[in-house]
A and B are shown apart, each in its own frame.
Chain A
Amino acid sequence: EIVLTQSPGTLSLSPGERATLSCRASQSVSSNYLAWYQQKPGQAPRLLIYGASSRATGIPDRFSGSGSGTDFTLTISRLEPEDFAVYYCQQYGSSPQLTFGGGTKVEIK
């Protein structure tokens, strides 16, 4: 089983700042099948990024993903008020076995 470790656990930033979230895998993610999700309180997760770097439909271009192999990054170029949430990475390269990272909370400083 691939274990995903996200860091930091919490990121305290102000609107307009840049957010950089990390996701490290215990072994290489096949075909870079790594996704990022955003979750707000009381809501289901929303797909942001798939294939490590492709934005899902309707996702603003301030969200970008990068990385390959075992190290992946989600960057939010300029935080908007609606971006404060919890973010999860997920690998689907060992499909249909999926795993999620523990999450990074982006909170208002």
Chain B
Amino acid sequence: QVQLVQSGAEVKKPGASVKVSCKASGYTFTSYGISWVRQAPGQGLEWMGWISAYNGNTNYVQKLQGRVTMTTDTSTSTAYMELRSLRSDDTAVYYCARYSSGWYPIDYWGQGTLVTVSS
């Protein structure tokens, strides 16, 4: 069965960086992309960007351009999301999700990783 297993919760200080991992199993990793979505406490879902696991092409939401980098390691079927220059309003649950960038939307989600930014 398809599974996306994310790394554990993080606590960071403002200005630091965080790197969240997402290990995929149960499907051919390079046949899909990975989207990253975050959710601030009590708020809605915010799409952050997408990476193709096939060729590494990326597409980021404009507001995070320059602060976010998404990568994949096809040898371990793992996707990574790094966010730099953290601010308090980056405190959120970060989800990875499988997305083919085609006619079918995001279908499988990781369990989420809580990132807390606090001095």
In the bound complex, what is the Cα–Cα distance between A30 and B13 (angstroms)?
41
Among the listed B95, B97, B104, B112, which residue makes an inter-chain contact with A50, where contact means beta carbons less than 8 Å apart?
A: B104
Kindly name the residue among A37, A39, A45 whose own CB sees the greatest number of chain B CB atoms within 10 A.
Answer: A45
Residues 30-63 (chain B) with a chain A CB within 8 angstroms:
33, 35, 37, 44-47, 50, 59, 61-62
Chain A residues 47 to 105 lying within 8 A of chain B, measured CB to CB, are: 47, 50-51, 56, 88, 90, 92, 95-103
Asked if A33 and B111 make an inter-chain contact with CB atoms under 8 angstroms apart, the answer reads no
Q: How far is the CA of A50 from the CA of B35 in the complex (A)?
A: 17
A50 to B106, CA, bound (A): 9
Query: Roughly how many angstroms separate A31 CA and B104 CA in the complex, as a whole number?
Result: 11
Chain A binding surface, main DSSP class? loop
| Nearest chain B CB to A54 CB, angstrom units | 10
Q: Does the CB pair B101–A44 fall under 8 Å?
A: no
A104 to chain B, nearest CB (A): 10
Q: Which residue of B lies closest to A100 (CB)?
A: B45
State how many angstroms separate the Cβ of B17 from the closest Cβ of chain A: 24
Q: B interface, how many residues as a size bin?
A: 20 to 34
Asked if B105 and A100 sit within 8 Å, CB to CB, the answer is no
Check if A35 is an interface residue, CB within 8 A of chain B: yes
**Beta-carbon nearest neighbor of B102 in chain A:** A95
Establish whether residues B46 and A44, one from each chain, have CB atoms under 8 Å apart when the complex forms: no
Q: Check: B29 CB closer than 8 A to any chain A CB.
A: no
Given contacts A47-B107, A96-B33, A96-B99, A88 and B50 within 8 Å (CB-CB): no
Supplied contacts A37-B45, A44-B109, A102-B44, 8 more A-B pairs, CB within 8 Å: A35-B105, A45-B109, A47-B105, A90-B105, A96-B50, A96-B99, A96-B101, A98-B106
The 5 A-B residue pairs with the shortest CB-CB distance, nearest first, are A44-B109, A35-B105, A96-B50, A100-B45, A98-B47
